[in-house]
Structures are given as structure tokens and as C-alpha cells.
Amino acid sequence: MSLPTSTKAWVLTQYCTGPLSESENFALREFPIPELKDGEVLVKVQTIGLEPAMRPSYSLEKSYREPTPLNTPLWAFGVGEVVASKSDKLKTGAIAYGLFSMSQYHVAGPETPFLMPVDPKIGKQVLSLFAPPGLAAHVGLFEIGELKKGDTVLVSGAAGATGSIVIQIAKRVGAKKIIGIASKRKLDAVLADGADEAVAYDDDDFEEKLKKATGEDVNLYFENVGGKVLDAALGCMAAYGRIAVCGMISQYDSIGGDRNSFEGIKNIRYILTRRIKMQGYICSQVNDEAVPKAIKDLGAWAHDGSVKAAIYTHPDKGVEHCIKAFQGLLTGANTGKMTVDF
């Protein structure tokens, strides 16, 4: 097989100032593939994962991420076949995982974050387990949330890629009770993941039902949603509760907009009266050991079957569907990790 000399890759052409538009903000461009240096491999991408965490890179607002450079291939976690190798660790024919790009082909090497062979027993789950969903779940639960056996655990966004893994880890560690918050139509998925109760945020009696389900005895709240869900959750915390703030997806559309478009949190006083610790985090920035530990644990748990990452495969195959799939992710089209096969 002759090797390709160029690859199609998605780039950002203009920073987003509101809802993103494929035609206005992005373009699929052709890039030459450079010759491999020692230690490098050429990966033919088979599947990429889409991350909510990509969104902050696409605008200029001050955030925990630098804006992505314009007109260069966008970052994306991917799985693919090694089609050429100057590496001792990944030979031609191997299946590799790493922080690649939204491209058909990607040159990876010693500097590529997360580069590793894919364990066949884990397969595409790696795009959730060793990527933001799994890492954020593990690091948030253990390093920030101090999860321990016997805890009552509440999680919002419970049917999402991260929430699903949070439930499974909490179950594995021996939580006393796990309560998931999701939309009405996703409650079954939450229970199927192992939650003891599932409460719908789009139910009229949401707050009352949450108080009843939790008994106001939540030791650890894993926060993905923000807004009225956070407000209700604050009222359900036990004394000395911990809140791991992984995301606040309900509020993202307000960023950069009018201050009044943010939901005001009324129950913040419970931080004081119930002596709660609430902490935001980016899993790669917590400490040097957190992510390697998460990868080790999640790999072992995927092997023994106690944690399983649900993977959603976009119905349209090919690099050209990446941005469309990302837009679907932001509007909740998927249950489980959003991926695109090439």
C-alpha cells in the first residue's frame, strides 16, 4: 500500500461569538503529511471522539483553555491503525489511541499526549474511559469528591458520557445510595447504569422529588449541569458534603452574553450552614498522579466488566461529519459518548 501524502483536517477559520456555525467558523482543508521522524508513527484515524471540552477552545473568552489557533487541525482524541512507523513501541498494523486531530491521518510521536496501543478488550471505549468523560469522572470522584464506601452520591447529567461512568464507579466503590438527575426520557438509562433512583429535572416537582430521593443526605454531588439543578442539589447536601464541579452545561450558552441570562443560585447559603466544600477542577490540572491513576483504574475496571463506557456512533461516517456531530453533542442528540467513524 502506498502511503498518503496529504490528509483532510478540520480547522477553525473564525472564533465563535455565539452558537457555532459549520460554514462560518470551520473549514475542512487539505494538509501535507510530513515525513516521519524517529519515534513517530502515521495513524489512519478510524474513530474520533467529540468533547464538550472542545467548545471553550473555539471562542476567545477567557477560560481554562487557550483559544485554539486558527487554520490548524483541531485537537481530538482518536483511535486508528498505525500505517507507517518509526517507533519501537507502535509497529505498523497496531491500533493506537491518543490526542490526535480531527483528520483522516495524524502523525503521532513521543510528544503526543495519551499515545498508547489500544487494549482489544476495551476497544473504542478508550475514547470515553481514557478521555475527558472517564478521567473527569474518576478524578472528580476521588481527588475532589473524596468518594468513599457508604457515601450517598448524587450526579447530574447522569445519562451523559461522564455521568454514566460516575454512577458505575460509585457503585463499584460501594456507595450507599446513588441518585441520578437527567431528563424524563433518559431516566431508564440512568437506572440501567446502576443508580438507585433517577429524578427528572424537567419534572414540575423536581425539587421535592430530589429532596425525597436523596433524603437531604448527599455526601458527594458530582456536578455537570449548573443552574436550577445545582440550586436544588445544594438543598439536598448533608453536613460536610463535597461538590465536585466538573461542568455546568446548562449555563454555557450564556457565556459571553448578558449577565442576567445566568441562573441565580439561591441556595448558596448551604455552603456555609452545611459546611460544604465545592470545587471546580480540570482533571489534568489536579496533580501529577491523578490522571495516570484514573487510567490504571479505569482500564482494570473495564477489563473486569464493572465499568462500561457507552459509545454512540454517529450515523454518518467520514471526517466531513465531525462538526455536525459536535453540534449534535451540544444539543444532547447522543446517549453515551459521541463518536464519528471514518
Instruction: By CB under 8 A, name the binding residues for a second copy.
Output: 56, 61-64, 216, 226, 230, 239, 245-248, 251, 255, 259-260, 262-282, 285
CB atoms within 10 A of CB 5: 10
Q: Which is nearer to a second copy, 263 or 320 (CB)?
A: 263
CA distance linking residue 229 with residue 224, whole number of Å = 9
Q: Which is nearer to a second copy, 58 or 281 (CB)?
A: 281
CA distance linking residue 127 with residue 79, whole number of Å = 8
CA distance linking residue 244 with residue 199, whole number of Å = 19
Q: Which is nearer to a second copy, 2 or 260 (CB)?
A: 260
In a 3-state reduction of DSSP, which class is residue 282? Answer: coil
Q: Which is nearer to a second copy, 114 or 262 (CB)?
A: 262
CA distance linking residue 131 with residue 10, whole number of Å = 20
CA distances for 169 relative to 59, 140, 156, 270, 293, angstroms: 33, 11, 15, 27, 14
Minimal distance, residue 277 CB to a second copy, in Å: 4
Tell me the angle at which helices 227-234 and 206-214 cross, rounded to the nearest 10 degrees.
Answer: 40
Minimal distance, residue 341 CB to a second copy, in Å: 30
Q: Which is nearer to a second copy, 247 or 336 (CB)?
A: 247
Q: Which is nearer to a second copy, 260 or 331 (CB)?
A: 260
Task: Assess contact for 178 and 196: CB atoms under 8 A.
Answer: yes
CA distance linking residue 18 with residue 330, whole number of Å = 13
Q: Which amino acid is at 268?
A: I
In a 3-state reduction of DSSP, which class is residue 65? Answer: coil
